[in-house]
Structure 1
Amino acid sequence: MERPLTVLRVSLHHPTKAPAIFATVPSRLQHDTSPLLVGRSLDCHLQLQLPRLSRQHLSLEPYRERGSALLAFSLKALSRRGCVWVNGLTLRFLEQVPLSTVNWVAFSGVQMVIHVELGTSLEAFACCFFVSPSPLIYRPQAKESDEWEDIPQALPAPGSEKQAPGYLGSLRRPSQTGDSPPQPSTGGGTEIQLQREPADS
């Protein structure tokens, strides 16, 4: 009897909503237990057409924890020039972090929400991709880091108390530096500002 696959349900968002960015994204991709590569290169399993994206920007890497009969996953940064943000943590070249059941990822102006649905197969896994028509995402849960200031807990706008917890609002166009996470707009919902700490003068 064939064992059910672990499924990664990946929602893709981009502030510009340019259709060409996600033109080559499949709706479903089945993959063996080797790393699944994301980037601009034709060798990547998930190709995104972004000029600031590295040829191989990141990878989703399945592995087995000791004593576990299920696959677990980590996300590894492969870009030498850009960062990847995972659940509030900043990853630089060759750094990686294990994924939890729900994960918020940002890189090169793209936002991904990855839901992991565990299966029992140890031979392969599947990715189901959903390209969102909206750049709305949920607020990441910030963790301790020397890189970022604490995220202020702004009060919700009047009349917005019934919105879903963690609702972020629409996002601005990403900066041109390639090293900044997406910034929320002043639209509805809770406003979050992620900023680098000012350098000592």
Structure 2
Amino acid sequence: MNVSQTMETEEDFLTCLHIKFYHPQQSCRGLYGLLPLGKRSVHSADDPLKLGRDNQACTYSLADPRVSRKQLALQAYRKPGSQDMLFSIQNLSQRGRLSVNSSALGYLERTDLPDKALIRFGEYEMLIIRESGEAKVTFEVEFEVLTAPPSRETCMCVPSMTPVMDTGSGVMNGFPTAVRALGPLETDETLMYDS
């Protein structure tokens, strides 16, 4: 088998982890100066991606003395018979907890990362979104800074569910004030009112 048949081509669509940071004091500090913001970086799937304060021990570093030397690790993996590249997250900090969608991880504890996850450590919030791809040996990472905390989003635990209110009518303004005060109407309700 020649080398060109075993190598990935540039046409392979790589799985990408979009990692979005927020810190309440990010505007007055250079916290993200060591991150390649807005650029996609390619990583080998067999090496854990480590994030922390120590730029020698970690793949990416945050310029913040309150962050652990090694804060967390993201590891790519596959399930048997599946083409999807999935990720787990591990807490590498001995002094701080890390939470994934409100579930706390202690030192060296690991959990599977859902397709959309809110990660918290210290005052940091990270929103990690996995974009599926086809490549088998590499993945991409793209960093971004958010202007508002991602925890303000609703339904972080179940991102596919959005509450929908059924008013029973497209226009509530067509009803008298007394009926509008009742609130949302179910579609099978029949209200009698004087006109």
Structures share fold, TM-score greater than 0.5: yes
- Show the counterpart of 1:99: 113
Q: Runs of 4+ in structure 1 displaced over 6 angstroms?
A: none
Tell me if 1:21 matches 2:31. Answer: yes
**Residues 95 and 136 of structure 1, relative CA distance in 2, 3 Å threshold:** closer
CA RMSD of aligned residues (A): 1.7
Write out aligned runs for 1:116-131 (5 A): 116-131=130-145
Aligned mate of 1:141, from 140, 150, 157: 157
- Show the counterpart of 1:7: 16
- Show the counterpart of 1:158: none
Tell me if 1:69 matches 2:79. Answer: no
Kindly provide the CA deviation profile for residues 50-96 of structure 1, in whole angstroms up to 9, marking residues without a partner as x.
Answer: 22211111011101111112211011101111110101100011111
Residue 120 (structure 1) shift? 0.9
Tell me if 1:56 matches 2:77. Answer: no
Does structure 2 conserve the Cα–Cα contact (< 8 Å) formed by 1:70 and 1:121?
no
Residue 46 (structure 1) shift? 1.6
Aligned mate of 1:30, from 18, 42, 65: 42
Aligned mate of 2:93, from 79, 89, 95: 79
Residue 19 (structure 1) shift? 3.8
Question: SS at 1:20's partner residue?
Answer: coil
Amino acid at match of 1:35: P
Kindly provide the CA deviation profile for residues 107-157 of structure 1, in whole angstroms up to 9, marking residues without a partner as x.
Answer: 121100011011011111001111123345335439xxxxxxxxxxxxxxx
Does structure 2 conserve the Cα–Cα contact (< 8 Å) formed by 1:9 and 1:115?
yes
Does structure 1 conserve the Cα–Cα contact (< 8 Å) formed by 2:41 and 2:141?
yes
Equivalent-residue separation in structure 1 for 2:105 and 2:137 (angstroms): 28
Does structure 2 conserve the Cα–Cα contact (< 8 Å) formed by 1:12 and 1:113?
yes
Q: Which 10-residue stretch deviates more, 131-140 or 60-69?
A: 131-140
Equivalent-residue separation in structure 2 for 1:74 and 1:23 (angstroms): 26
Residue 25 (structure 1) shift? 1.1
Amino acid at match of 1:15: P
Question: SS at 1:21's partner residue?
Answer: coil
Does structure 1 conserve the Cα–Cα contact (< 8 Å) formed by 2:51 and 2:60?
yes
Equivalent-residue separation in structure 2 for 1:63 and 1:42 (angstroms): 24
TM-score, normalised via structure 2 length:
0.68
